[in-house]
Amino acid sequence: MKDLRSILRLTHEQGLSVRAVSERLKISKTSVSTYLLRAREAGISGWPLPPGYDNDALLERLLFRRVGRPPQDLDEPDWAMISRELKRKGVTLTLLWQEYRAAHPDGYGYTWFCDRFGAFQRRSSATFRNRHEAGAVMQTDYAGHTVPVVDPDTGVICQAQIFVAVLGASSFTFAHASFSQKLPDWIEGQCRALTFFGGVTKAIVCDNLKAGVAKALWFEPTLNQTFAAMAEHYDRRSCRPAAASRATRARSRARC
C-alpha cells in the first residue's frame, strides 16, 4: 500500500506522468498504470485520500477485490450514444464512464465498461486495416486542439497550433507548435518533421487545408505552388492531399 499511496501522491499532487512515477519509485510502468486504474475504478482520483482511506486493509480490499462477472441486473449504458459522443472533440471514454457512474453509482467499473464498449464496437462496425509499407508515407495535419502559450514578458496568452506528422507504417509521430496555420508555418512543420525522422518518405499525404492545397478537387487536386516547390526540393513529386470530403466530390462531379 505504500507504493500505491506514493503513486497517487506523485500523480495527483505533483502531476508526474506514469513514466516519471515509474522512474521515481523504481517500479514498472505497467504496475503504476494498474494501480491508477484500480484506484480510479474505486472512486479514488485525487490526493490527499478521502477520509477513512488511511486504513491499509480497507484500501487493499477496495482496489484488489476479486474481479468476476458483473451482475446481470446492472444498468446497461446506451453504447450507440457513447459511440457517437466519442466522436466529439475532447470527449474520452474515461469521461463518459465517469458520467455513467455519476448517474448509476452501482454500475459497471471502468474495466468492464471499456470491455463491454469494445465488444459493442466489434459487433456493430466493420473495420479496414490499411497496411503501409515502411518509409512509404508521411501523413501531416494540424491537431484539432490548440495549446495556450504565455508570453513571459507581457503575460499575454496566445493559442499555439499543433502541427503533427505521422509515419504510416510505424505511427512514429512528430509534433511542432506554431502560432498559425499559414503557409510559412505549414512548410516549416513539414521540413522539421523530415529532419526529425531523418529521411524523406516516398509520399507526403496532407489534409486539404489552404496552405497545402489550392483546389481540393476530387479528380485533380491542385497543390499550393510553394508546397509543391518544397516537395520538389526534397525530390518528392508525390505530395498529395487526403481524400476530399463528400461535398467537394459532389462539386467536382458537377463541374465534369
- Both 123 and 171 in one domain: the answer is no
Looking up residue 186, the CATH number of its domain turns out to be 3.30.420.10
User: What's the confidence (pLDDT) of residue 120?
Assistant: 83
**Residue 58 confidence (pLDDT):** 65
Cell numbers placing 175: 509534433
As a three-state string, the secondary structure of the chain is: CHHHHHHHHHHHHCCCCHHHHHHHHCCCHHHHHHHHHHHHHCCCCCCCCCCCCCCHHHHHHHHHCCCCCCCCCCCCCCHHHHHHHCCCCCCCHHHHHHHHHHHCCCCCCHHHHHHHHHHHHHHHCCCCCCCCCCCCEEEEEECCCCEEEECCCCCCEEEEEEEEEEECCCCCEEEEEECCCCHHHHHHHHHHHHHHHCCCCCEEEECCCCCCEEECCCCCCEECHHHHHHHHHCCCCCEEECCCCHHHHHHHHHHC
Does 97 reside within a domain?
yes
Note whether 189 and 231 are same-domain residues: yes
Asked if the model's pLDDT at residue 244 lies above 80, the reply is no
24 and 109: one domain?
no
Nearest-Å Rg of the Cα atoms of the chain is 24
Higher pLDDT, residue 130 or 40: 40
Is the domain of 57 the same as that of 150? no
Q: Do 55 and 111 lie in a common domain?
A: no
User: Does any domain span residue 250?
Assistant: yes
Overall average pLDDT of the 137-144 stretch = 88
Mean per-residue pLDDT, 196-205: 88
- Which of 65, 95, 117 terminates a domain? The answer is 65
Q: What is the CATH number of the domain that holds 6?
A: 1.10.10
Query: Beta 222-223 vs 213-215: how paired, if at all?
Result: antiparallel
Residues 54 and 109 in one domain: no
Q: Which residues pair with 175 in a beta bridge?
A: 164
Does residue 174 sit in the same domain as residue 119? no
From 51-55, 136-140, 215-219, the region with the lowest mean pLDDT: 215-219
* 219 and 158 share one domain: yes
Task: Identify whether 132 is part of a domain.
Answer: no
Which domain range does residue 102 map to? 75-127
- On whether residue 206 sits in a domain, the answer given is yes
Predicted pLDDT of residue 247: 46
Give the dihedral of Cα atoms 207, 211, 215, 219; nearest 10 deg: -30
Whether residue 154 sits in one domain with residue 89? no
Q: Is residue 70 a part of any domain in this protein? A: no
Whether residues 179 and 232 share a domain: the answer is yes
Q: What is the mean pLDDT of the chain?
A: 77
Q: Report how many domains make up the chain.
A: 3
My answer on whether 53 and 106 are in the same domain is no
Q: Taking 50 as the threshold, does the pLDDT of residue 251 lie above it? A: no
The stretch 98-113 carries a mean pLDDT of: 82
**Tens digits of per-residue pLDDT, 47-96?**
887 766 666 666 766 676 544 445 555 678 888 899 889 888 778 888 89
- Clarify whether residues 115 and 198 are in a common domain: no
Which band of pLDDT confidence, cut at 50, 70 and 90, is reported for residue 254? very low
- Could you read off the pLDDT of 107-130 as tens digits, one per residue? 777 878 888 888 887 777 666 666
Which of 15, 43, 65 is the last residue before a domain boundary? 65
pLDDT for position 6: 86
